[in-house]
Structure 1
C-alpha cells in the first residue's frame, strides 16, 4: 500500500492519552464511563502507529520522563515502532478525551479533549532530542514533527531542529499550530499541514490562498490544508492555486481525534507521488481513523474500502519533489 518509505516521527511534547467512552456528554452532570483506554500518545506517536498500519516503517522519537515515563516507554515498545529513549526530567502530560456514543445538545457528538501543557525541556534535553533525531535520519527518510511544543520552546530551537534534519538530507513535514507553524515555514519545511482555522489564526488572514501565500512568503514549500468535510487542498511551492483537491463522498461518523495524525502518516508514506494520488490516500486514511475508538489506529481494510469513495480533483499532473 505504501512502498518503501521510512518515516521518522518526532513528538517534542508527548502525552499519556486516556480515552473515556460515555453514552452522552452532559456538562455539569456525573457521567458513567463505559470504556477506558490509556496509551502512549502525542501526535507524532499516533503518526508512527498509522505508518505501521499502512505497511510502512516508522521510528517514534519523544522525550520520556517523570512518573508516567516507564509506562509510556513500555507501551511504545509493545506497540511495535522502535522508540529510542530520549530522557526528559519533566513528567509526561496526561491528555484526556471524552468520546460520546450519542450526540448531546451541546457537543453534536464530538469528543471533548483536555490537553495539559507539558513540561519544558532544558537546553541540554532539547539538544539531545535534536541529536537523536538527526542521528536516526537516513537518506530518503521522511521526518514528521507533530503536535504542540514544550513550554519554553523558542523559534531558534525549532528552526534549528527543522534545518538540521533538512541538512541531513530528509524532507521534513510539520503539523503545528500558532507560532510553531510560522517557525516551521521560516525554517523551510518541505510540507506544512495546517487546518483552515490554524492557517487563519497563525497568519492573521482569513482567505485560503492568502494564508498559503503568507506561509510561502516566510519560506514554506508545499502546503496541504485540511478543511473538515470539504477535504484537502494541496499547494505546490510558490503556488496559491491548488494542485489537487480530495474529499470523501459522504463524511463518516465517529471519533475524529486522530484524523489529522492519520493524514500526516499518509502524506509521509506517499511522498514523491502525484498530488491526486497522495490526497486520495490521505483522505481515506483520515476517514478510517475516525472509525476507530482511539487515536493512532486505522484498519487497512477500511482505508481500501474508503479509498473507493474519495472524490479527487486533479488540477496539475505533477509528482511532488520530496526525494
Structure 2
C-alpha cells in the first residue's frame, strides 16, 4: 500500500501552442485536463501501473467536483476531506520543443480541523512497512510543519515516509527524519543555500542529509537523470529522451516509480532505474498524462554506482 497526501491538489489544464507570445491571442493546437497536485500525480502513475494506492486530499467547489470526477474516471481510490472552497486550477502552456510555462494558483485556505482530518485520513490505512508520501506545496492556512507532523505520526505506526516538497515545508520536515526525500536540484540548492552545479555537489549535500538521519535522498536532475544517496552508496541513473513533449509531472512519476520499486523490495539501484524510466516516459506524454506499462518498454536507463562527481549539470 502506498498512500499519498496532497494538501493542495488541483485541476490541471495543459494547452499546447505553436509558440508562447506575451500579449497575443493564441490558438491552441490541443488541450487536456487532468487531476493534479504532486501526490495525486504519484497515485495516478501508481494506479496506471496496477499498484495499490490511496490518494488523500481536500476537495470543494465545482473545481473539486471535477477533480473527483477525473479521479473516478481513472479508477483511483481516494479519501476526501470536504472543504467549503474550490480547489485550485493550474494551467500549463506547452510548446513543441518541450518548453513548459506554468501558472499555479495558491489554493484554498485550510482550517486547523481540515489539516487534522487530512492527517488522520492519511494515517488510518497505514500498517508497518507501508509507504506514505507527503507531496507538494502547502495551501494557505496549513501549518509549515504539516509534513513534519506526518513523518512523526507515520513513523510511530511503523510506516515509511517519503516527502516531496520545497522551501520551508521541506526544511521543517527534514529534522523529523523521513525515510526518503525527493527534491529536485533547484529545491536542494535552495535548502543548501548555494548553487549545485556538478553531480558531486548534489551528492555532497545529499550525504549531509543522510548523516542527519534521512535514510534515502533521491534528487531528480532533469535531463541529467537522478541520483539516489544512502549511507553506503550513491547511484546515478540517466535515460535519454529525444522527443520531449511535457515535463509537467515527470518528477512525480519518477517518485512513483521509485516508491513502486522500494515497496516491492527491489535493490536500490533497480528502484532508482524504475523511477527514472517512469519519469522519462512521462516527458514523452502530453500535459500531466502518466505513463502506462506500454510506455516504458523502449526506455533504456544507464546506471552507475561510481558517479562522475565532476559531471556538470544542465540548467
TM-score where L is the length of structure 1: 0.87
Q: Which runs of 5+ in 2 are unaligned?
A: 196-200, 308-315
**How far apart are 1:247 and its partner, in Å?**
0.3
Bigger Cα displacement from structure 2, 169-178 vs 199-208: 199-208
**How far apart are 1:120 and its partner, in Å?**
2.2
Structure 2 partner of 1:284: 277
Deviations 1:264-284 (A, max 9, x none): 101111113212111211111
CA distance in 2, matches of 1:36, 1:262: 21
Q: Structure 2 matches for 1:103-252, cutoff 5 A?
A: 103=97, 109-206=98-195, 207-216=201-210, 218-236=212-230, 238=231, 242-249=233-240, 251-252=242-243
Q: Which runs of 5+ in 1 are unaligned?
A: 1-5, 104-108, 317-323
**How far apart are 1:213 and its partner, in Å?**
4.0
Structure 2 partner of 1:302: 295
Contact 1:144 1:264 in 2 (8 A): no
CA distance in 1, matches of 2:138, 2:301: 33
**How far apart are 1:250 and its partner, in Å?**
5.1
Structure 1 partner of 2:75: 80
1:62 to 45, 57, 68: 57
TM-score where L is the length of structure 2: 0.89
**How far apart are 1:218 and its partner, in Å?**
4.9
**How far apart are 1:134 and its partner, in Å?**
0.7
CA distance in 1, matches of 2:240, 2:60: 44
Task: Give the direction of change, closer, same or farther, for the CA distance of 1:250–1:37 in structure 2 (3 Å limit).
Answer: closer
Structure 2 partner of 1:90: 85
Q: Which 4+ stretches in 1 moved above 6 angstroms?
A: none
CA distance in 2, matches of 1:87, 1:249: 42
Give the paired residue count.
300
Contact 2:134 2:163 in 1 (8 A): yes
